[in-house]
Amino acid sequence: MSARIYLDHNATAPLHPAAAAAWQELARESLPANPSSIHWAGQSARRRLTRARETIAALLGASAREVVFTSSGTEANVMALRGAVAAAPRARRRVLVSGIEHPSVLGSLEALGRERPDVTIERMAVDHRGVLDLDSASSQLGSDVLLVSLMLANNETGVLQPVSELSLRARAHGILVHCDAAQAVGKMAVDVTALGADLLTAGGHKFGAGLGLGLLVVRRGVAISPLLPGHQERGLRGGTENVAAAVMAAAALEATQGVVDAEGSRVALLRDRLERDLLARVPGARAHGAGAPRLPNTSAIAFPGADGEAVVIGLDLEGIAVSTGAACASGTIEPSHVLLAMGVPEVEARATVRFSLGASNTEAEIDRVLEVLPELVASARRHASDVPQVDVRAQGPAPTEQ
């Protein structure tokens, strides 16, 4: 087998060297103590935690007091959504959410709707590219809407969303805005103030900080109720803080943001070449969302007539890691809700594979993928037994728009 190739950075980015170095420094010092302790060891840990919070806040355009540490991006999303609804005035009981959000957002709101009959959850539509329909969303706004939730970058297609534009329209009605920025942080500049978001969430492992830390920015003046009561995190999230994870996250975010433009340009060239050559070599292949602004690293490509899972397994046997969509949904038999919301037929959604690149990827790796993938797709098409077949010869490659 050739050297292993990792093209699933949207699931989890490899540990950044800066985060690893931060961990090694902490390990040499036998790790920090409990930052709530009043002795010298605890106060040393408190200083490390404070510096990490200040660094992360500055990089996200927030103040240190607005940054809350959680255990994951999922917890940050749940805390933001449930906390905002719990603290809201009774007159506002409608929540708007786009149909392409991460399962942690959609699942949390669906559960909330079942538990709270007085709260109405409504979907906001996206167009065929996967971009929020702003005019349609605007028509849903009103004085009874408490919150709108719109991600910054989609985890499956990489399509960027008009968060700042929606925020302007929502603010005119006094509506809170939640933005899941998990896929954007570390891949592009993210400024919570410029976005106009009241609540912004992210997960450390998406930008190379390792697992175990989520970020929630709660803009000053915004009230949310805690899910885990306790004195930590200004009373918003109980539990002893994970100082090591916070320090690693600050180091990783500072390092990635320092080269975000140059690295984004490099990765975009690799992604565009992969996409262009696959669409030319694989009959009928098409890239979802290619006509919209996207993250520089993400490509969701449909191979009609093939089972996407079969293609993923075939690539895995060649040592190439990709996915059929969100890693959180791996192993499910349901087609991507993101693609269905875009109007993609179910059969095509099941034939879609996501490639998400990162700092570790090279031209030689793209060469290898292009070498093996066309035949893997052809084989998957030949062996597909439960996937309706299409005449891909008549379709030809779909053009991409950049």
Contact 357, 297 (CB under 8 A): yes
Do 266 and 361 lie in one domain? The reply is: yes
Q: Whole domain around residue 95: which residue ranges?
A: 17-258
Do 55 and 135 lie in one domain? The reply is: yes
Of the three residues 230, 258, 286, the one that is the final residue of a domain is 258
Best CA proximity match to 288, nearest among 333, 324, 244, 264: 324
Domain-located, residue 298: yes
Domain-located, residue 384: yes
Catalytic-residue membership of 328: yes
Of the three residues 258, 281, 305, the one that is the final residue of a domain is 258
Q: Any idea which residue has 């191979």 for tokens?
A: 303
Domain-located, residue 101: yes
Do 362 and 220 lie in one domain? The reply is: no
pLDDT at 400: 38
Tell me the residue type at 273.
R
pLDDT at 1: 58
pLDDT at 328: 52
CATH number, domain of 365, equals 3.90.1150.10
Domain-located, residue 402: no
What is the DSSP code string of 183-251? TTBTTB---HHHHT-SEEEEEGGGGTS-SS-EEEEE-TT-----SS-SSTGGGTS-S---HHHHHHHHH
Do 184 and 270 lie in one domain? The reply is: no
Domain-located, residue 40: yes
Q: Any idea which residue has 């929540």 for tokens?
A: 95
Domain-located, residue 400: no
Q: What is the Cα–Cα distance from 84 to 234, expressed in whole angstroms?
A: 16
CATH number, domain of 226, equals 3.40.640.10
The values of phi and psi at residue 130, to 5°, are: 95, 20
DSSP label of 285: -
**pTM of the entire predicted model:** 0.92
Of residues 21, 26, 125, 328, which has the active-site annotation? 328
pLDDT at 333: 64
In angstroms, how far is CA 102 from the centroid of its own chain?
Answer: 7
Do 312 and 273 lie in one domain? The reply is: yes
**266 CB contacts (<8 Å, ≥6 apart)?**
none
Do 233 and 323 lie in one domain? The reply is: no
pLDDT at 397: 40
Q: What is the Cα–Cα distance from 202 to 209, expressed in whole angstroms?
A: 11
Do 76 and 25 lie in one domain? The reply is: yes
> Which residues of the chain, if any, have pLDDT below 50?
387, 389-402
pLDDT at 326: 53
pLDDT at 369: 98
How many domains is the chain built from?
A: 2
Do 214 and 294 lie in one domain? The reply is: no
The secondary element (H helix, E strand) that includes residue 320 is: strand 320-321
Contact 204, 235 (CB under 8 A): no
Do 147 and 59 lie in one domain? The reply is: yes
Domain-located, residue 401: no
Do 29 and 161 lie in one domain? The reply is: yes
Do 210 and 147 lie in one domain? The reply is: yes
The values of phi and psi at residue 39, to 5°, are: -75, 175
Q: Is the dihedral of CA 355, 359, 241, 214 positive or negative?
A: negative
pLDDT at 29: 82
Contact 214, 233 (CB under 8 A): no
Radius of gyration of the chain (CA): 22
Contact 222, 199 (CB under 8 A): yes
Of the three residues 258, 275, 298, the one that is the final residue of a domain is 258
Do 244 and 123 lie in one domain? The reply is: yes
